[in-house]
Amino acid sequence: MAEISIKQAIAAGWASRATIYRAVADGKLSMTKAPDGRGILETAELVRVFGEPRLKGQKNEINQNDERQPSSLTEAAVMKERLENLDRERARLERDLAEAKEREAWLRQQLDKQTALLTTTAETAKTGWLGRMWGRKG
């Protein structure tokens, strides 16, 4: 899971500092502390709570260069998280498909058994009781 600092989350455009801290206080967003005391956030949590990051409008040339690096790191982290989620989803769907195929095969066997029983019962019903006793159809 990708982790970023609160400063990087703000620079990427997820939310303001106050909004992030309010979400943490309300229990909507989980935050861990780095050894140096900085708040660390999971990008998946940020996407869950705030949606995709909204890049702020273009600023002067100095600030624009400062925001580019955290934004690209955040985008890479978000894309990595999405890729992991898609891989997990694909694996789950493959398991579900294999289970469905097994169920279908079992149901086909049951259908074949029931068809054979019904066919045998129908043939038995065509013969009278004397025919059944003497082995003849009546």
Mean pLDDT of 3-20: 88
pLDDT band at 106 (very low <50, low <70, confident <90, very high): very high
Where b means 16+ CB within 10 Å and e means fewer, 72-96 reads ebbeebbeebeeeeeeeeeeeeeee
39-42 sheet: strands from edge to edge: 3-5, 39-42, 31-33
Q: Where are the domains of the chain?
A: 3-105
- Cβ proximity of 90 and 28 under 8 Å: no
Instruction: Over range 67-83, report the average pLDDT.
Output: 75
Does the pTM surpass 0.85? The reply is no
- The per-residue pLDDT for range 108-130, each reduced to its tens digit, is 999 999 999 888 776 666 666 66
Specify the amino acid at residue 54: R
Contact partners, residue 39, CB within 8 Å, separation at least 6? 5, 6, 24, 31, 32, 33
Query: For 71-95, what is the mean pLDDT?
Result: 87
